Amino acid sequence: MYLFVFTLLLLLFQFVNSKNIYNDSNFKVANSKEQVGIYKDSIVKLKDEVFKLSQFNLENNDASIDYLEKEGLDYKTMIPLINDSLHELNNYDGEEHPLIPYVSMNGGKVLINTVKILNHKWIIADYTDGQISGELLIKYELTEKKELNFKLLESFIYPLN
């Protein structure tokens, strides 16, 4: 009789424990499916955002790449050349930057920070001196001597806080 009761309690314990494990695993699976759905939505949103950001970019602009190739230039070498040339302009003497039409307000230098090459003709860049900041629209061209010429088309400065 004791053996029968002990076996019955053991079976009852196993049944309850198995049921709890089964319910817990079902809950985890349902929760995982919900998370996968959320992650898929996030991936779609991020892909859309990447597509929007890459629209005005030399690397994704087939017409600009074709233009450069017809000129005998490789856009993969042009991108670092343009970036380096613009950042080299930060090494200037005096108070006035060669491209930026504003003078530093804190006695330092106004420097070009970020450069985004839009196509085979235009660049957007931002600048700062630590206190003031703004953005530039720059036109560039490569001369026959393979030198880069930059021309400032438009600029603005953000108001001080």
Give the N- to C-terminal CA distance of the chain in Å, as an integer.
87
Compute the average pLDDT of residues 79-83. 93
pLDDT of residue 103 exceeding 90: no
Adjacency order of strands within the sheet including 148-157: 111-117, 122-128, 133-142, 148-157
Boundaries of every domain in the chain: 1-54, 58-157
pLDDT at position 100 is 93
C-alpha to C-alpha distance for 129 and 145, rounded to whole angstroms: 33
- Note the pTM of the prediction, 2 decimals: 0.69
Task: Compute the half-sphere exposure of residue 26: CA atoms within 13 Å on the CB side of its CA.
Answer: 6
* 136 CB-contact burial (10 Å; exposed 0-12 / middle 13-18 / buried 19+): buried
pLDDT tens digit sequence for 112-152: 999 999 999 999 999 998 888 999 999 999 888 878 999 99
C-alpha to C-alpha distance for 100 and 109, rounded to whole angstroms: 11
At 104, list the tokens. Answer: 């530093």
Contact 141, 122 (CB under 8 A): no
pLDDT tens digit sequence for 26-65: 999 989 999 999 999 999 999 999 888 888 888 888 999 9
